[in-house]
Structure 1
Amino acid sequence: MITRERGYALFLGALLIVIILSPMSVNGEESQQCCSQTEFDLFLLGDSDDGFISPFYSDLEQDPVEEIVTSSIGGEVKIGTWEVIWRTEGEYSAEIWNFVIPYELQEAAGFTINATLEVKVGGNTYQGTLSMPELMFTGQGEIQIPVNVGQGTLSEGDVIEITLNVQNLIFSNPGDENTGVKFLWGSEEYNAHMSVKLPLLEIIMNEASVLGNLAYFPVLIKSGFEDRMWSGSEGKAKVQNLEISDSPIAILREEGVEVTFVWEIPDNLNGEIRFDFELVPQPGLILELNKTHDITIGGGDGQNDWYPENEPLRTGGAELDINVDAIFKGNLVERQVSIEFDGSMSQWIRWGLDNIGNNTLDSNSWWKNLNEYSNSIKSSEKHNGKVDDSEILALQNHLIGSKSDLKSFFANGLFLEIESIIGVDPVELGPTTIDINMGKSRAFSSEEIIITIESSYRVEEGQRQLLVENFVRPSAEKYWTEISLLIGMKTNMLTGLGDIYADEMNYELRRWIIMEVITVEDKDIDSDTEFRIEFVPPNSFLFSPLVSAMMSVLALSISLMIGLALTKRRARVPTMITILVLGSLAFSIYWMGLPMQIVLGIVSTSILLVFPISLVSPSSGTIEKISKKIGGPHVKCPSCGKSNLVQSNVRPLRMPCSECNSILRIEA
C-alpha cells in the first residue's frame, strides 16, 4: 500500500514538474477566413493599345496617360483596351458594374458623344452604352457607363478585358486645330476605373505559435496576385488593440503569400488575447479579420531566434538610408559608403546568411551563389536560427573577391545600382574593404543592417565625374518604401571640384580657404525619380580654394594700392566704396561655391574700375571750394594746411586751428 502511494506521489510530482517547465503554449480557435467575394475598383493603367487593370491603388502613377480625339467623328474610334489575367476562381453574381473615365475638353464650348463599353469576363461578353446626344459635356469631368453583368463563374487563367469605343463625337463652337477631348487614366488624380464585384482574395488566420517570449501570428492571403496582394496593399496587425510595429515576415506560398507577425509577449500574461489583421488594397476597401487565442505561460525557456523554412520576400517594405563620406584629392577619390536598411530586406539577408549551402534553395535564389563557401561554415552553425561570424565572413569574401559578384549582390539582391552610389564601375575600384554590421541582434528580425564599403578610385582632370545618380533599379515591385541620402565630399586646399552639374537633385557647395565641401541631402527620395549630380575637376591650380583666395586678396590689394596712389589729391570715398563692395561680393560668391571664374572675374574688375573711378573723383581743391560755398568762409592754417570754417563775422578775429591748435588771426 505504501509502495503504491509512493508511486502515485512520484507520478504526480513528475507531472507537476513537466507542467511547470513546459514552454508557453497557444490554443487558438478554428482558422477563420473572409472576403471570398468583394466590391472593389479595377484601375486602368498603361498605354491605350497595351493597357492593363489592377486593384492596387499603389500602381497608379503621378502622371496620367492621355488619349486625344481632335476632330468631330461620325464613325467609331477606339480609346483603349485594358485587361488582366484573373487567377482567383469563384462565382460572381449579377450586378451593375460602373465604368468611370475622366476627360478634359480643349478649345470648344462643349461636345456630345455616344460611347460603347465592352467587358469580357472569361467566355462571357457584356456591353454598356452611353447614348445621350442631347447631353452636352463641358470643361472637364467624368464619363460614366453602366454595364449589366450576369451571373457567372471565373476559372483560373480567365481574362477580364475592357474596351472603350466612342462614336458620333461632335464639338460645339470648336476653335482651332487643337480642338479635341482628352481622355485620361492611370494616375491618382485621374484614376479611371471599373467598379466590380468579383472573388478577389481569401484571408485565412491560422493557429498562432509561441517560441520563448515571442508569439507568431501567421496570416495566409490567397489570391491570384501572389505576393503582390501584400506588397501592393497597406497592411497592419494589432494585438490587444496595440499595433505591432515590427515588420512582418512575408513568404511566398503555392496558394498565395503568408504574412507572419511577431509579437513580444509581456511578462506574466495569461488568458485570451485578440489578434486583428487589416489589409487595404485601395481606399475604401478595408478587409478586416480577427481571431482570439488563449495563451498560457509556462517555463518560457524556448529560443527567440525563429527562422522560416522558405526564403522570405523582399517586398514587404524596408527603409533605406545611404550615407557617403568622400575626399577628393585631385586625381584620387576616397569614399566610405554606408548602406543602412531594415524591414523585409533585413529579414532576407539574415535568412540567406543562415542558409548558405542549403540544397533546398529555389533555383533562382541569389543565395545559391554562396554555396561554394558551405565548407567554411561548421555544421553546427548552419541553419541554427542565427547569423554567425563565419557566415558574415563568407558574404564579405564573396563581395570582395569579385567586382562582378559585388554588382550582382546589390543589383539582384538589394535591387540597387552600386556604381550609381560609389561613382564608378566597381571594376575601377582600388583596394576595397566591406564590413557587415548586423546591429543589435543576430536573430531573424527586421532590425537594421549596415553595410559599409571603403575604397578609392582615380579620376582624370577635365572629365566629368559622377557624384551620385538614381540608384534604385527599376522594377515592377517596390522594395524600398522610404529612401534617404546624405553625401559629403571635401577637397584639400590645392584641389577644387570645378563645375557642378545637377539634374533633379539639390546640393550645397561651400568654399573655405583650406577646402571645398559639397553636401547632398534628401530624406524623401522617390524610387522612380531620375536624378544625377556630376563635377568636372579643374585643370589648373588657379581654381583651388587656397590659390583662388590668395589671388582674390592680391587683386583687391593691388586695387587698393592703385586707388590710394591715384587719390592722393582727390576724394578717396568713391574708390574705397567700389573696392569694398566688389571685395565683399567676390568673397560672398567665393564662400557660396559659385563658379570660381565669377570670383576671379569680379576681383579683376575691381582693378579695372579703380582707374576711371579714381580719375573722375573730385580733387581736394574742388572739394574745398564746394565746402566754402556750402558752409561759409574758410581759412587755411599756414602750419598744417587744414582748412578751417569761420563761423563769426567779427573782425579782427582770433580762432584756433581745428587740426594743430595754432592761433589764426583774421583781419578782414
Structure 2
Amino acid sequence: MPENFRRNVGLMRTASFIIFILVATLVLPVVSPTVQAADESDDVIVCCDASEVKLYLLGSDSNKQLTPFFAELSTDSQAVSMKNSINSQETVGKWTLSNTWGGDVPSSTWTFSMEYEVSGAVGAQINATASIAIGSKSYSAQTDPGGSFLGQGKGSLDFSIEVEDSFELVDSSSITLELKADTLLFSFPEGTDAELKFLWGGEDDPSSIEGILPILDIMMPTPEIEGSDVYLAVKLDSPWGLSTLALAESISLNVNGQEVTGDPIETASSDTVRVTWTWDKAAGGIETISVEVELKFQPDQPSLTGSTTFEIETFDTDSGTGTYYPPDEPLRTNGDGSSLDVNIQMDLSKDGNTLLLRKVTTLTIDDEMAFWMRWGLDHIGDENPALSVTLRAFSEGSVTEEDRVSRSIEESEIGEFERQMINLGPQYLAGGLGIQSEDLLGMFREFSSLKIDLDLNGEFAVVNHPVTLRFSTTEVVAEGTQLELVNQFIVVQPAPLWSSFSLSLTAKTSAFTSLSNSVLRESTQFELSVLRMPWGDQITLEGEGIMQDEAFRLNSVPTTAVSFTPMPLTLLSVFGLLGAFIVGMRITRQRKRTVMYAELVLVPVVGLVLILGYPAIFVGGAVIASTLIWWVTAIASPRLSPQNKRRTQTTYPTIPCPACQVSNPVTSTERPHRFACAGCQRVIRLEA
C-alpha cells in the first residue's frame, strides 16, 4: 500500500509539472513583452496609386538623370550651347530615371519644359522633338509646324506629350527623356556671337517633365502599445529609399483630426523608411482611432495622403518612456538635419623649449543625431550585421548582456565608449557624425594627451535628448609655422546631418607666447576679434546659424618672439613712446610746446592698435609714425623770444606804466631805478 501510494504521488507530481510547463508556454508569450509588437504582415497600404509628379533634369555629359527632388538642384546650371544655325537633327541631351515604382500608368498629357537663353540675336527659330520612353512604351511631341520662336533672353521651350495608353509599369523599369533639335535659325544675329543655350539642373533653371506616375507606397502597420503610449508608424516604400523622407518637403500624422506633435523616430530597411510617432492622448481601455498621414512630396504638387482606423487598448501605467525604441538602427537625419553647438577653448603656453596648445572642444548634439548616439551607446558590442560599420566598430568590453539593449544607458556603456573613442574617434566622427576630426580637433596621432568625456545631460534613457561630447587635447606646435586653429569641418551631404551649427572659439596665450597674424579666410559669416593685453592675447571667433557648406579657415602663427608676444611688445611700445616724447621735449626746450602737448593724442591711438591685436609690424609702425610726428613738430615749433626766455627763467615783480598801463618787470633792487617802459618807451623812475 505505501509503495502504491508513493507511485501515485510521483505520477501526480509529474502530471502537475507537465501541466505547469504547458500553461507557462501558452501564457508567457502573451504577458512577458513590455511592448505589444506589430506583425509586418498586418501593414495596411493607404496610398498611393499613380500621382502627379515632376521630374527635374540633372547632370552633365553621360550622367544625365531625372529626379523628383527639387533639393537636388544645384546653384549652378548645366548647359548645352548651339552657336550656329543647323539644318540636320542634333541631340541636345538624354536624361534617365533608372528605377521606377511598379503600378498602373494612366493615359494623360505629360508636360516637358526646357529652360533656354538666347543671346547675340533678336531670337531663334527652332524645330525640335521631345520623346519619352516609359518602360517599354515610347511617346513623342514636336514643336508647332513652322517651328517655335525663342525670343532674346531667357524663357522656356514647352512640349505636350500625349501618353495615349493605360499600361502597367513593372518595378525597376526606367524612364528616358530625350530632346533633339531638328533645325535652328537665328534672327538678325550680331556677327558670330549668336548663341542658344539649353539650361537645366539649377535652382534658377529647373527644367522638368511633369506627368502622372506611380512613385511610392505608403503603409501603416498595426500600432504598438506600451502602457498609455501608442506608437503609430508610417512606412514609405519607394525606389529612392532614405531620400524619399530626407528630400521630401514634409510629413505629418493626424489622429482623430489632431496633429501628433513631437519628434518622430526614423529607421530604414532596404528601400523602406519607417517613421514612428508617439501618441499619448489615448483615453484608456479599448477605443477606435482614425489615423491620417500627409506627405508633401514636392513643393508645387498636391500632398499625398492616406488614412485608416485601428482598434487599440491602452493601460494606465508608467512603463513607457514617451519615445519609441526601434529594433533597427535609427536614421541620423530626417532630411532637415539636427542642431549642433561647438565650443572650443584653447590655451597656448610655453613648457621649457616647446610650445603647448591645450584645447577643450565641446560638441552639444540634439535631435535625430542625439537619439542615434544614445541608441548606439545601448548597442555597444552588438554583433548584429545590420548595424552600420560605425556602430559595429565598438567591441563589448565590460558591457554585459544585461546592460545591452536595456533602453537605458549604463555607466559601463559610457565608460567603454569613452575608452574606445581614443582609437575610434576619427572613424566615429566622420562616419557617424559627419565631422572631419582633423579640421575640428587636429591629428589624433599627434596629441600628447587625449581625454574624451560623454555627458548625457541628466537623461540616461534612450530618448531624444541632447548629448554632449567633450575632447580635451594637448599637442606640441611648431614655433613660427602657420597653424590652422579650425577649418570647415562639416562633411557636406545631400541629406544634411546638421541643419546648421553654431561655433564659439576662444584662444588665449600667456604673457610671453602669442598667436600672431590671426586671419579668418573664405567666410564673412563669422565675427573675429583679437584682444592683446600685457598678460596675454585673446582670439574670439563667433558664428550662429552656419550652414553645412560654409567654407572657412582660421589661421594663426604661434610664437615666443620678443617682438610679437604681449608683455615684451607692450613694454617696447611704452618705452618707445616715452623715449620719443622725452627727446621731443628736449628739442623744444627753447621752443613753444603747445602743438607737442596736443599731439599726445597719438598715445591712445597707438594703444588701440596694440590692444586690438594688430600685427606687431603695425604696432611698430604706429610707434615710429608717432615718433616722427613728434620730432618733426618739435623741430618746426617756433623759438621763444628773448624776453619770453627770461620771463620763463626768472620771475620779477611788475609795475604798471603811469602813461600806458603796460605792466613792466622790476629787474633791479637799486633805488632810484630808471628803465624804459616796454609799451610806450617812456622812462620810468622808481624811487622806492
Normalization by structure 1: what TM-score? Answer: 0.84
1:609 to 629, 634, 646: 629
Cα contact 2:100–2:175 (8 A) shared by 1: no
C-alpha distance in 2, partners of 1:643/1:287?
106
CA distance in structure 2 between the partners assigned to 1:417 and 1:24 by the alignment: 39
Deviates more, 1:407-416 or 1:313-322: 313-322
What is the Cα deviation at residue 653 of structure 1?
A: 3.3
Q: 1:298–1:157: structure 2 CA closer, same or farther, 3 Å change rule? A: closer
| Aligned position for 2:413 | 391
Question: CA separation of 1:517/1:65 partners in 2, compared to 1, >3 Å: closer, same or farther?
Answer: farther
How many angstroms apart in 2 are the aligned matches of 1:558 and 1:128? 89
Equivalent position of 1:417 in the other structure: 436
Q: Which amino acid aligns with 1:251?
A: T
Q: Give the aligned partner of residue 92 of structure 1.
A: 105
Cα distance in 2 between the residues matched to 1:266 and 1:492: 62
Which AA in structure 2 matches 1:217?
L
Deviation string, structure 1 residues 64-108 (Cα, Å, up to 9, x no partner): 233333333334443332212224101111222111222233333
C-alpha spacing 1:335/1:643, structure 2 compared with 1 (3 Å): farther
Match of 1:534?
555
User: Tell me, what secondary structure is at the counterpart of 2:576?
Assistant: helix
Q: Which residue of 2 aligns with 1:54?
A: 67
* Whole-angstrom CA distance in 2 between matches of 1:251 and 1:30: 16
Matching of residues 138-157 of structure 1 within 5 Å: 138-151=152-165, 152-157=167-172
CA distance change for structure 1 residues 617 and 666 in 2, over 3 Å: closer, same or farther? closer
Give the residue type in structure 2 aligned to 1:418. Answer: S
Shift of 1:292: 5.1
Q: Report the Cα offset of residue 636 of structure 1.
A: 7.9
Query: Which is greater in Rg?
Result: 2
**What stretches of structure 2 of length at least 5 have no aligned partner?**
1-32, 668-674, 683-688
Distance 2:439 2:654 in 1: 73
Pair 1:31–1:488, CA change in 2 (3 A): same
1:300 aligned partner = 317
How far did residue 186 of structure 1 move? 2.0
CA distance in 1, matches of 2:109, 2:642: 97
Q: Is 1:336 the equivalent of 2:360?
A: yes
- Mapped to 1, the partners of 2:376 and 2:506 lie a distance apart of 32
Contact residue 37 and residue 200 of structure 1 kept, 8 A: yes
> Counterparts of 1:655 and 1:137 in 2: how far apart (Å)?
94
Q: Give the superposed CA RMSD.
A: 3.5
* Equivalent position amino acid for 1:472 in 2: I
Q: CA deviation at 1:462?
A: 1.9
Task: Write the distance in 2 (CA, Å) between the matches of 1:269 and 1:439.
Answer: 35
**C-alpha displacement of 1:276:** 4.2
Q: Which amino acid aligns with 1:411?
A: A
Deviation of the 1:173 alpha carbon: 3.6
Match of 1:369 among 368, 390, 393: 393
The amino acid of 1:220's aligned partner reads: K
Deviation string for 1:452-487 (max 9, x for gaps)?
Answer: 111111110121211111212244442222222222
State the percentage of identical aligned residues.
Answer: 24
When the two structures are aligned, how many residues end up with a matched partner?
624
Report the counterpart of residue 598 of structure 1 in structure 2: 618
Look up the equivalent residue of 1:533 and give its one-letter code.
Answer: L
From 253, 264, 274, the equivalent of 1:258 is 274
Amino acid at match of 2:556: F
Question: Does residue 222 of structure 2 align to residue 217 of structure 1?
Answer: no
Task: Return the alpha-carbon distance in structure 2 between the equivalents of residues 113 and 356 of structure 1.
Answer: 64
Q: Deviations over 1:248-300 (max 9, x none)?
A: 11111346111101234488799665544332222123223345556655332
| Higher alpha-carbon deviation: 287-296 or 340-349 | 287-296
Structure 1 residue 42 displacement after superposition:
0.8
1:249 aligned partner: 265
Contact 1:306 1:443 in 2 (8 A): no
- In 2: Cα distance, 1:328 partner to 1:70 partner: 61
Whether contact under 8 Å (1:32, 1:291) holds in the other structure is no
| Equivalent in 401, 405, 423 of residue 379 of structure 1 | 401
Secondary structure of 2:76's partner?
coil
The 3-state SS of whatever aligns with 2:550 is: coil
Distance between the aligned counterparts of 1:165 and 1:295, measured in 2? 58
Distance 1:478 1:488 in 2: 27
1:421 is displaced (CA, Å) by 0.6
Change (3 A) 1:255 1:542: closer
Q: Does 1:44 align with 2:68?
A: no
Task: Name the counterpart of 2:221.
Answer: 206
Deviation at 1:61, TM superposition (A): 1.9
Shift of residue 517, structure 1, vs aligned partner: 1.8
- Tell me which amino acid in the other structure corresponds to 1:406: G
Corresponding letter in the other structure for 1:164: L
In the TM superposition, residue 238 of structure 1 has moved relative to its aligned partner by 4.4
Per-residue CA deviation, residues 383-417 of structure 1 (Å, 9 max, x unaligned), is 222221111222212112x2xx2111111122211
Aligned residue for 1:444, secondary structure, equals: coil
SS in 2 for 1:432: strand
1:338 deviation in Å?
1.0
State the match for 2:508 in structure 1: 490
Q: Distance in 1 between matches of 2:444 and 2:143?
A: 59
1:34 — aligned with what? 47
The question of whether the paired residues in 2 share the 8 Å contact of 1:218 and 1:260 is answered with: yes
Residue 511 of structure 2 aligns to which amino acid in structure 1? M
Structure 1 residues 128 and 212: CA distance shift in structure 2, 3 A: same
Distance 2:576 2:345 in 1: 35
Q: Which residue of 1 aligns with 2:638?
A: 618
SS at match of 1:86: coil
**Counterparts of 1:486 and 1:636, CA distance in 2:** 64
Relative distance call for 1:621 and 1:398 in structure 2 (3 A) is same
Question: 8 Å contact 1:118–1:125 — kept in the other structure?
Answer: yes
The one-letter code of the counterpart of 1:201 is: L
- Which amino acid in the other structure matches residue 420 of structure 1? D
Alignment-derived partner of residue 124 in structure 2: 111
Query: 130, 151, 156: which one pairs with 1:137?
Result: 151
- Change beyond 3 A, Cα 1:484–1:639: closer
Q: Decide which of 436, 451, 455 is 2:473's aligned counterpart.
A: 455
Matched AA of 2:420: H
CA distance in 2, matches of 1:252, 1:365: 15
State how far apart, in whole Å, the 1-side matches of 2:648 and 2:327 are: 106
1:283 corresponds, among 285, 288, 299, to 299
Offset, 1:230: 0.8
Q: Does structure 2 retain, via aligned residues, the 8 Å contact 1:636–1:643?
A: no
Instruction: Return closer, same or farther for 1:549/1:242 CA change in 2, 3 Å cut-off.
Output: farther
Distance verdict in 2 for CA 1:298–1:599, change over 3 Å: same
Kindly indicate whether residue 369 of structure 2 is the aligned counterpart of residue 345 of structure 1.
yes
Q: Distance in 2 between matches of 1:558 and 1:242?
A: 79
Q: Deviation of residue 218 (structure 1)?
A: 0.4
Question: In structure 2, what is the equivalent of residue 441 of structure 1?
Answer: 459
Check if 1:567 corresponds to 2:588. Answer: yes
TM-score normalised over the length of structure 2: 0.82
> What stretches of structure 1 of length at least 5 have no aligned partner?
1-21, 625-634
1:321 aligns with 2:335: no
In structure 2, what is the Cα distance between the partners aligned to 1:130 and 1:493? 77
1:466 equivalent in structure 2: 484
Q: Which moved more, 1:264-273 or 1:526-535?
A: 264-273
Taking structure 1 as reference, are residues 371 and 30 closer, same or farther at Cα in structure 2, changes over 3 Å only?
A: closer
